[in-house]
Copies of this chain bind each other. A is one copy, B any other.
């Protein structure tokens, strides 16, 4: 899907900033990596380790940070954050197909919808729903009573928002995501579980992206809170009353258990799992596959992974894990014995 026409470099700079060196009339119609870009494409250098590729790229132009501007004779856009600039050029060259404003006749809508909104096939909107300007609901989305969705938000197909949840502005929600399902709250009575009705909401800030088939539970009494600028990948589970700070990013398959609070700018690698009622301070980074079962009060990176081995090696070493406390005791015994021997010798 190459961009149809293309833009002159000086047009790009006039829209996105940065400074231009070389021929501003060069037209680029698509982006590419330094290694793969060809004629008509613009590449970028975001990391010094790819610096060599500047010499051999076939790209028509490049985006570079100031310190590498002298490394190439190609027409170039100079910007201190070449990667973020690249992200904006991708958007410029590949405008997403917008869906037509208006309500498709197959949609069932029980609330007022602004004329700038695009309500797709078979969408269902409940009562007392507030839909912002330019909101796009792809086919099959189901919006419960009393929901509010901020301006310029876009929901891909089959997203479900339960009653009374609040979605901020410029949200991007991928297909199959579920927002506002009941939290997992039960009281034990004999051997049975008695359901605790979940009467809180999910409240989501502005500029949040939520991945495909991700689920976010509503709060038990208070609300589950997702801050501004949070980015959640696919297949994530956010339990009731979790509070996520601004600009947190979580990779796929992460799970956050109930009432845990995650500070600003934290990142959680794929399949990371945080147990309930914890607090992670700002700027905590959790490695992929790591289980966190205690609060983390200091910024930094944390890890809990058994190292990968060929299966037979693993068998040998894993067997010793079960004897590790005993092994430590044996080493202590040896140390004592040796100390005594040294004394007596």
Residues of B within 8 A of A229 (CB): 191-193
A331 CB contact (under 8 Å) in B90, B172, B193, B334: B334
A289 contacts partner chain B, Cβ-Cβ < 8 Å: yes
Residues of B within 8 A of A209 (CB): 182, 195
Residues of B within 8 A of A308 (CB): 290-294, 302-304
Chain A, 221-276, CB within 8 A of any chain B CB = 221-222, 229, 231, 233-237, 239, 246-247, 249, 251-253, 255, 257, 264-265, 269-271, 273, 275
A122 to B94, CA, bound (A): 31
A189 CB contact (under 8 Å) in B81, B106, B176, B275: B81
The interface on chain A, measured as residues whose beta carbon lies within 8 A of the other chain's beta carbons, has a size of 135
A187 contacts partner chain B, Cβ-Cβ < 8 Å: yes
Q: Are B247 and A271 in contact (CB under 8 A)?
A: no
A257 to B33, CA, bound (A): 19
Q: Are A142 and B142 in contact (CB under 8 A)?
A: no
Q: Are B104 and A108 in contact (CB under 8 A)?
A: yes
* 17 more CB-based (< 8 A) A-B contacts, given A156-B181, A158-B160, A331-B334: A36-B221, A83-B187, A87-B194, A94-B199, A122-B124, A140-B140, A160-B175, A184-B252, A252-B255, A269-B275, A270-B275, A288-B293, A303-B308, A304-B306, A316-B325, A317-B322, A320-B324
Binding site for B on A (CB under 8 A): 1, 31-33, 36, 81, 83-84, 86-88, 90-91, 94, 96-97, 104, 106, 108, 120-122, 124, 138-140, 142, 144-145, 156-158, 160, 162-164, 172, 174-176, 178, 181-182, 184-189, 191-197, 199, 201, 207, 209, 211-215, 217, 221-222, 229, 231, 233-237, 239, 246-247, 249, 251-253, 255, 257, 264-265, 269-271, 273, 275, 287-294, 300-311, 313-325, 327-328, 330-331, 334-335, 337-338, 341-342, 345
What are 22 inter-chain pairs, A to B, with CB distance below 8 A?
A91-B195, A108-B139, A140-B140, A144-B157, A157-B160, A175-B181, A184-B234, A191-B247, A212-B215, A239-B252, A252-B257, A257-B270, A273-B289, A290-B308, A291-B306, A300-B311, A303-B309, A303-B318, A306-B306, A306-B318, A320-B327, A331-B334
